């Protein structure tokens, strides 16, 4: 709602029709032609009842899908799980699920883990494709480790690691030196945890 309000303020004094045309309240679904060879961008709600040879579901991250507000409410979480099922079953032949390990939203940078909805899919049905490029951070804060900067153990900020108990996660911070060095990992199942490096037994993924 705040995003829409801020956008509307840019059109103060102009006819309402101009604003409505710009924000395109009429979706691709309302104007699509099945014979046109072009992609359609739509919400999961508007995709119900439709099928496509190729489907992309973007933003498959914890706190985004499912949204952070739904994690404490089982009813809302189940509704989002059903929406995810709707999206998955729109694909007739090929389905791509994508997520960002780091994302800037509302002026803040967050480190994300893969959505539980993807982790609930049997592993034998998924083929993971990962870019080789290192994650980079365009803006750094004074005194904070930079993305890609090595920790005292050789691990890097933003690197994906595995833990024998907590599973997979992303390194989001580290501090200290020697036997006092600690590393902060945001695990997909357990959330963020500080671990003593000498006992963490982390493995790079």
Torsion over CA: 154, 139, 194, 106 (sign) = negative
In this structure, how many other beta carbons lie within 10 angstroms of the beta carbon of residue 27? 13
pLDDT for res 134: 46
Q: Which domains does the chain have, with CATH numbers?
A: 18-129 (3.40.50.300), 133-205 (2.40.10)
pTM of the model: 0.52
Q: Give the pLDDT score at 36.
A: 64
As to burial, measured by CB atoms within 10 angstroms (0-12 exposed, 13-18 middle, 19+ buried), residue 134 is exposed
Residues 185 and 193: their CA atoms lie apart, in Å, by: 5
pLDDT(182) > 90: no
- Gap between the Cα atoms of 150 and 155, Å rounded: 5
pLDDT band at 28 (very low <50, low <70, confident <90, very high): low
| Residue partners of 46: CB distance under 8 A and separation at least 6 | 27, 29
């Amino acid at each position: 709602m705040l995003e829409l309000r801020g956008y509307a303020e840019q059109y103060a004094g102009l006819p309402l029709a101009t604003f409505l045309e710009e924000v395109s309240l009429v979706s691709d679904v309302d104007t699509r032609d099945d014979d046109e060879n072009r992609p359609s961008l739509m919400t999961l709600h508007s995709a119900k009842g439709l099928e496509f040879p190729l489907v992309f579901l973007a933003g498959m991250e914890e706190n985004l899908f499912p949204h952070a507000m739904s994690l404490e409410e089982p009813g809302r979480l189940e509704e989002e799980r059903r929406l995810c099922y709707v999206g998955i079953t729109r694909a007739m032949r090929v389905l791509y699920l994508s997520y960002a390990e780091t994302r800037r939203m509302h002026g803040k940078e967050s480190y994300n883990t893969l959505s539980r909805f993807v982790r609930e899919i049997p592993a034998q049905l998924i083929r993971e494709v990962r870019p080789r490029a290192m994650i980079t951070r365009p803006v750094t804060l004074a005194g904070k480790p930079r993305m890609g900067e090595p920790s005292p153990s050789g691990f890097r900020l933003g690197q994906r690691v595995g833990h024998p108990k907590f599973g997979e996660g992303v390194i989001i911070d580290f501090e200290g030196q020697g036997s006092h060095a600690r590393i902060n990992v945001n695990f997909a199942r357990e959330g963020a945890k500080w671990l003593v490096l000498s006992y963490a037994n982390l493995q790079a993924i």
